[in-house]
Structure 1
Amino acid sequence: MKTRFLLVLTCLQAGAAYSQDIISQKTQQVETGLLPAVYIEGRPHAVYKLADRMAHYKVPAVSIAFINHGRIEWAKAYGYLSEEQQVKADTLTLFQAASISKPITSALLYKLAAQGNVALDEDVNKYLRNWKLKPSPFTAKKPVTLRGLLTHTAGLSVEGFHGYAQGSPLPTTVQILNGEPPANSAPVVSIAEPGTGYRASGGGYVVVKQAVEDVTSHPFATVIKDLVLKPAGMVHSTYEQPLPPQFHQQAAAAHDVNGHMLPGRWHTMPEVAPDGLWTTPADLARFLLTLTQSLEDGYDALLTQEQTREMLYARENMGMWQHRDPSHGWYGSGHNDGYNAEMLMFPDKGQGIVVMTNGDYGRRLSNEIIRGAARVYHWERPRPATQTVIKLDAQTLQDYAGTYGMEGLPYHVKIAVEGDHLRATLTLDNTESVLYPASKERFFSPEEGREVTFLTAEDGTVTGLAAGPARLQKMPAAGK
């Protein structure tokens, strides 16, 4: 009997060691198999090493959590908390989640609705005591609701926020909503009829924050900790802003496009509902797993199966996530100054990945990591696309050079010729993109996969450019 027991124990240990070896091999394959957004036809397919791409993008720290078989299979951190202090990042290092704060805020509102504290389709002013959304011709027929705010269909202004340097005066929530000093953002107002389309509005989530605090009479950070973070097992996460001093030593500092640390290490984000979460990839993975378990098994530590299904898949809730098709994955992305976070979950596979970085080029790096993981774990997507580059004459390229903008937009795009291609610089944060011609008017970025199409008048004069839904006009050259 003793011999049989030892044999079984030995087999179990050997199986565990073999399993760990497989996990280590796949982890290494991800680390050495980063992939670009685009392969260029006729050129060798690029494959990168993580350390090389961190240096290329000037991102000091990366942290990854990988989900497999419905659990966190591995988590690993790379690099350092800042360019100045050579303190190694680890899996408990905190990063700003930026807009990934929003789907977690959405879960809180579903929890409050389930408790009977709010109704998602009522006029939000019903729940606001210390501030009210002003009447507008846009809201004469249909009110702004919590659901509309969560899904970016309420027709409100203020797309996003940049936060406040350490030591700067911080505005109250009401000051942010009114656009009053020391707030550095515009007032949150109605700019379109509710329900008439998607318009990204971080300002709408600030209204949600005010409603939560008015309804519960408690700070938003406390309410979401008790009702969402704790039930989801997110024990290393907080919405507290400014970040409490006891967490400073484990927080990654923010870095700009040149790899320089922001003054004061990071910006404070008093707009906590849309952008204020400090967390780790493992904690975000736990949130994804909690939702998955609720869908599959009715696990109701956070929400019931019905509530989770409605939050994720109801047609009227499009906009809470960037993408949430079960076969293509739930996808969330966030960018604050100096930080980027990406999360992707395939609930039908029990697989997913979360990547967090502390650099302004972090999104490009994170997506290269995710595409590499897709190849290692045999996901259909995301994978590199393939584009053909054509050769354009020097004059055609020069015609595209210039500055592009739009009235009311606080930034411009500068286009310059660089050999046989173009370079685009976004003045908002000085991020740059190399653009190769796929046709006379259409260009693409191999690192991002983004496409830019130049617009021309009937006589061939370049009048503007289109990048996704954005349409920018070419501005007259100085002196003209």
Structure 2
Amino acid sequence: MTVPTTRSSVHRTLVCLAVGGVLAGGRVLGSQEPPTPPQATAEPVAARIARVESGLLPPILLRGTEPERMSLAERMAHYGAKGLSVAVIDEFELAWARGYGVVRAGSKEPVTPETLFQAGSISKPVAALVALRLVAAGRLALDDPVNDHLAAWKLPDSAAAGSEPVRVRHLLTHSAGLAPFAFPAVPLQDPRPSLAELLGGRDTPGVTRIEPPGRRFRYSNPAFGVLQQLLTDVDGRPFARLAREEVFDPLGMASSSFEAVLPAAMLAQASHGHDGEGEPLPGKGLVVPAAVGGLWTTPTDLCRFLLAVFEASRTDGGFLPRTLAAGMVTRQLENRGLGTEIFAEGAARRTSHGGGLPGFVAFMVGYPELGRGAVVMVNSPGWDLMHEVLRAVAWEYAWPGYVVEHEVVPMAAGDFARFVGRYEFEVRPEVQPEITTASGRFFYGRWEMLPVSDRMFVIPDLGDEIEFVLGDGERATAFLYGQAGTRKIRARRVD
């Protein structure tokens, strides 16, 4: 199977799998020599909002060319997005929040900053904060074996995993060595098994251990299902109530809930999700285990979450002990914090997490040393749109390391020959793109690639980067693929 000939869902799936990694080449805008994005000023916030709304940016910027700036209204129409909400942090404060579009296709009810969206996997860092509150209270320790606390279900032993127990820390850093799978997302009205039943294998493959814990990062939905079960077993309160009393109420996150069925007042404020054809989902959204992806919230509430973590990580006497909060904004294993993704160092260090369920996508990013960040939520499949908005915010507020500019460099066809061949993605082996050359031009499938170093290329039409891995004899053995500023996914040579 060769690469699809349109910008298909396969490519979006691959890019979504990649989101959350390290930068790979290029010149970083907002670093020591930015191309003059606006700096912090005392000008009216309305002017800054207007520049964001008219300044959406593509993922690939080429040095020497004026970036193509796009309006939010035009891009929402282009993608068929029904509604979008954004909130921005600057100088350690909520700077502004706005809603755009409508809560349901065919309606006139506008999205406002108070409109609730499903956050998908952004639920995970919020669940991590719930866990750390119990750690701070002495109810739990990060290095406790999880089976010491689990009651309704136990993590099974496995010869492949060895004798080292899975600890709470491993769950939070996606390093528990659990076999990956996705929990079923079901309509609100459908009967649902208990979480313990799902963990044990009802309607899912069941949670199994496939390697020793603590060895490496492997993104894990099951780990946060286990975490949710552990927290309810330790504390006794249902998880939604536990989160409300330990996190949402103290932080003023009044528009946030892990309830599978929202209270009536919150349900009235919730947006409908929409499928790929723009049709509203029945019941507004789908249900998955809460800590895995079940959070309903707003960008404003998620900014409150970020600000609380930032403050606690910088000062004593905050919402969490400083050492625990610091674990959420510093690397613990590879690019993972406790429940979060971490990129770069120093002032450029940022924490982020994305989320998506059928009908919704969301992304949050924050700079704990600078007090900057933003959250964007969309009520339809709008991953590309969401990141165009985030790049506009990053440009306006001079986020270091977020927007990358590349310079095209010359490359002879003979030098390119070492890359030519067929490859397969390790996460999707059925996707096997071909790297070719013709008439002095270089291609990934049917899309032209532009060289930006001796082994790295950008694909302007897809907004993606490819960095080749060279083996003995300087022949490429693999490549890393993804959008700028994300964790890349690997494809290996197969011919």
TM-score bucket (shorter structure): 0.7 to 0.9
Q: Distance in 2 between matches of 1:86 and 1:403?
A: 48
CA displacement at 1:297 relative to structure 2: 3.6
Q: Distance in 2 between matches of 1:455 and 1:379?
A: 29
Q: Distance in 2 between matches of 1:212 and 1:280?
A: 24
Residue aligning to 2:374: 353
Q: What do residues 221-276 of structure 1 show as CA deviations (whole Å, max 9, x unaligned)?
A: 1111111111122111001113344433322222334434345432212x211211
1:214 partner amino acid: D
Q: Distance in 1 between matches of 2:188 and 2:429?
A: 24
Q: Distance in 2 between matches of 1:253 and 1:78?
A: 14
Q: Structure 1: where are the runs of 5+ without partners?
A: 1-18, 425-433, 476-480
The one of 416, 438, 441 equivalent to 2:450 is: 438
Residue aligning to 2:465: 451
Q: Distance in 1 between matches of 2:92 and 2:185?
A: 36
Residue aligning to 1:305: 322
Q: Distance in 2 between matches of 1:143 and 1:243?
A: 36
Q: Distance in 2 between matches of 1:348 and 1:441?
A: 33
Q: Are 2:168 and 1:146 equivalent residues in the alignment?
A: yes
Whether the 8 Å contact between 2:309 and 2:328 is mirrored in structure 1 is no
Residue aligning to 2:27: none
Residue aligning to 1:31: 53
Q: Structure 2: where are the runs of 5+ without partners?
A: 1-40, 482-487
Whether the 8 Å contact between 2:423 and 2:478 is mirrored in structure 1 is no
2:260 partner amino acid: Q
Residue aligning to 2:28: none
Residue aligning to 2:401: 381
Greater relative contact order, per chain length (Cα 8 Å cut-off, separation 6+) = 2
The one of 117, 120, 136 equivalent to 2:139 is: 117
1:385 partner amino acid: E
CA shift in 2, pair 1:127/1:326, >3 Å: farther
The one of 332, 339, 342 equivalent to 2:353 is: 332
Report the aligned-residue RMSD: 3.6
TM norm structure 2: 0.77
The structure that has the greater radius of gyration is 1
CA shift in 2, pair 1:43/1:76, >3 Å: same
2:271 partner amino acid: A
CA displacement at 1:474 relative to structure 2: 6.8
Q: Are 2:312 and 1:294 equivalent residues in the alignment?
A: yes
Q: What do residues 96-146 of structure 1 show as CA deviations (whole Å, max 9, x unaligned)?
A: 111111111111111111212112212100001110111112443310011
Residue aligning to 1:129: 151
Q: What do residues 142-184 of structure 1 show as CA deviations (whole Å, max 9, x unaligned)?
A: 100111011011101225445113433323212221221xx2x
SS of 2:286's partner is coil
Q: What do residues 352-383 of structure 1 show as CA deviations (whole Å, max 9, x unaligned)?
A: 21111122223x22221222122222233311
Whether the 8 Å contact between 1:390 and 1:437 is mirrored in structure 2 is no
Q: Distance in 1 between matches of 2:410 and 2:284?
A: 44
Q: What do residues 313-356 of structure 1 show as CA deviations (whole Å, max 9, x unaligned)?
A: 36356362122545222222222222221212223222221111
CA shift in 2, pair 1:188/1:304, >3 Å: same
1:253-332 equivalent positions in 2, closer than 5 A: 253-269=272-288, 271-300=289-318, 302-313=319-330, 315=332, 318=337, 320-323=339-342, 325=345, 327-328=347-348, 329-332=350-353
1:386 partner amino acid: H
SS of 1:438's partner is strand
1:26-175 equivalent positions in 2, closer than 5 A: 26-40=48-62, 44-161=66-183, 163-175=185-197
CA displacement at 1:292 relative to structure 2: 1.9
State how many pairs are aligned: 437
Q: Distance in 2 between matches of 1:386 and 1:212?
A: 46
Q: What do residues 374-433 of structure 1 show as CA deviations (whole Å, max 9, x unaligned)?
A: 22222333114225499999xx9xx99999566xx678447699x999798xxxxxxxxx
Aligned-pair identity (%):
30
1:38 partner amino acid: I
